[in-house]
Amino acid sequence: MDEVRISARSNPVEGTILESGFQIERALTAEGKLFKLKIPIDVAVLFEEGSVVNQSLKFSITAFGATREDALQSFCEDFAALYEHIALSSDDALTEGARSLKSSFLETVEEVVEQ
């Protein structure tokens, strides 16, 4: 996951947040793919019942892990899976909500490179 660049951000979302979160700025890797980004992805960091939670409401992702690294890995895997199943599907196969999510992926991801 050396392709994930993060920076602090200061606008928290509602929840049990103990830090403000971060942005994935340029790229993320998962499932053997490099996702190059046009715009950063805001990720909120929450702590719930001993787990670290990384959440992006824009992409409907809530990823859990025992550590920050595990939560980030889970987030990246969820992002890759959703991208494959939503962004690559034809619009007529998607619900209105899924089409909205597809639009978010397409405006955020510049290129996907097999590794």
Rounded Cα distance between 13 and 3, Å, is 25
User: What average pLDDT does the segment 12-19 reach?
Assistant: 43
> Would the pLDDT of 99 be above 80?
yes
| pTM score of the predicted model | 0.83
Give tens-digit pLDDT for 58-83: 999 999 999 999 999 999 999 999 99
> Would the pLDDT of 5 be above 60?
no
> Would the pLDDT of 14 be above 60?
no
Domain count, the chain: 1
Q: Which pLDDT belongs to residue 110?
A: 97
The reply to whether 97 falls in a domain is: yes
Strand residue runs (E) in the chain: 6-8, 22-24, 27-30, 33-37, 41-48, 51-56, 61-65, 109-114
Residue 94 C-beta-side C-alpha neighbours within 13 Å: 18
Rounded Cα distance between 43 and 46, Å, is 10
The reply to whether 89 falls in a domain is: yes
Q: Which pLDDT belongs to residue 55?
A: 95
Write out the residue range of the structural domain in which residue 33 sits.
6-114
